[in-house]
Amino acid sequence: MPMKYYDYLIVGQGICGSILALMLRERNKSLLVIDQGHPVTSSRIAAGIVNPVTGKNFVKTWMADVIIPFAHQYYQALQMNWSAPLIAEKLIYRGLDNIEAENKWISRTGDPDYQDYCTEFSSFEEFRPYILPASSYGVVRGGFQVNLPLLLDRTREILQSQGSLQIGSFDHKELRFTGSFFEYKELMAGKIIFCEGFRGKIIRFFPICLFPSKGEVLFIKIPDADFRNLIKHDQFIAHLYDDIYWVGRGYEWRAENEQPSESAKEKILANLQSMLKVPFEITDHKAAIRPATKNRRPIILQHKEFPGMYFFNGMGTKGTSLAPYFADRLVQNLEGNAVL
């Protein structure tokens, strides 16, 4: 049987592999995505929050003024194309517990560099029936939430309908380079891009240093709740659908496995009980490992010996914000020699 040729072979269909595949498809490239089909991955359990100002010191996300508008435009265009509710603008309420946090926040609101993002206070009415208020709140504007399960599922359907998806584990030992293209089992590809998330830690071809970090999520039902903006007080509470909410936290750097743990559940619950003043019910508990890097920057690499081989990874806690802009940069490089 003749071998089938693809312009691109993409390994992994998380947010990185998905957006890359959609962008290459837009350019009419032939491609095959190989994905293990795990029901629980970092992209699948993430809240999809794009947050312009993060951390205890309320620091602007790296390249926020460039990557966030780019991501917003990208997801909005997809939403229009798909006629599906992919993206929702959200205010982010940051609990300020003490004078130090309040002072830091006030200094941000007076900083011209933060004027698009940090505002002093906005009415708490939306949350009042459900949340025990912190002493005060700072409100982040310019954030939004992306429905990542929808993004992944719709991409999967599109790829499947075109015979561009293979479910299974890519076996790195089976990859051969012939001099002008790659051979993998019964197929050939001009270029190959590894988008394997934290599993990229163990691939053979790139001496990469990922620092994977485990995160855990409780999915809870708050009967009749109808708050839609995001609230963060140590951990986020984010609306998903109906009266189901996402509550997540955690950076376990030396995680031994991807299983949800009782200790993380207890921490999330303790914090939740100090925030919520209404009954709730846990509907699910999941854990996954983020592909973080030491310097908290994404990684795009071209292999020195095999120039058609690339590595697209290292999105850490910010895959939703970073992936569209950097996938676009990578595609421009792949297709037009733009510098990475």
Ligand X SMILES: Cc1cc2nc3c(=O)[nH]c(=O)nc-3n(C[C@H](O)[C@H](O)[C@H](O)COP(=O)(O)OP(=O)(O)OC[C@H]3O[C@@H](n4cnc5c(N)ncnc54)[C@H](O)[C@@H]3O)c2cc1C
Provide the binding-site residues for ligand X, judged by CB under 6 A. Answer: 11-17, 34-36, 38, 41-43, 45-49, 169-170, 195-199, 215, 217, 248, 288, 290-291, 313, 315-321
Whichever of 46 and 225 has its CB closer to ligand X, that residue is 46
Whichever of 2 and 168 has its CB closer to ligand X, that residue is 168
As measured in angstroms, the least distance from the Cβ of 108 to ligand X is 21
As measured in angstroms, the least distance from the Cβ of 109 to ligand X is 24
As measured in angstroms, the least distance from the Cβ of 112 to ligand X is 26
As measured in angstroms, the least distance from the Cβ of 18 to ligand X is 7
**CB 233 within 8 Å of CB 95:** yes
Whichever of 170 and 280 has its CB closer to ligand X, that residue is 170
Whichever of 268 and 275 has its CB closer to ligand X, that residue is 268
As measured in angstroms, the least distance from the Cβ of 136 to ligand X is 24
**Which three-class secondary structure string do you get for the chain?**
CCCEEEEEEEECCCHHHHHHHHHHHHCCCCEEEEECCCCCCHHHHCCCEECCEECCCCEECCCHHHHHHHHHHHHHHHHHHHCCCCEEEEEEEEEECCHHHHHHHHHHHCCHHHCCCEECCCCCCCCCCCECCCCEEEEEEEEEEECHHHHHHHHHHHHHHCCCEEECCCCHHHEEECCCCEEECCEEEEEEEECCHHHHHHCCCCCCCECCEEEEEEEEECCCCCCCCEEEECEEEEEEECCEEEEEEEEECCCCCCCCCHHHHHHHHHHHHHHECCCCEEEEEEEEEECCECCCCCEEEECCCCCCEEEEECCCCCHHHHHHHHHHHHHHHHHHCCCC
Whichever of 24 and 49 has its CB closer to ligand X, that residue is 49
**CB 36 within 8 Å of CB 152:** no
**CB 222 within 8 Å of CB 263:** no
CA distance 189 to 176: 10
As measured in angstroms, the least distance from the Cβ of 202 to ligand X is 9
Whichever of 90 and 108 has its CB closer to ligand X, that residue is 90
As measured in angstroms, the least distance from the Cβ of 110 to ligand X is 28
Whichever of 184 and 198 has its CB closer to ligand X, that residue is 198
As measured in angstroms, the least distance from the Cβ of 298 to ligand X is 9
Whichever of 46 and 118 has its CB closer to ligand X, that residue is 46
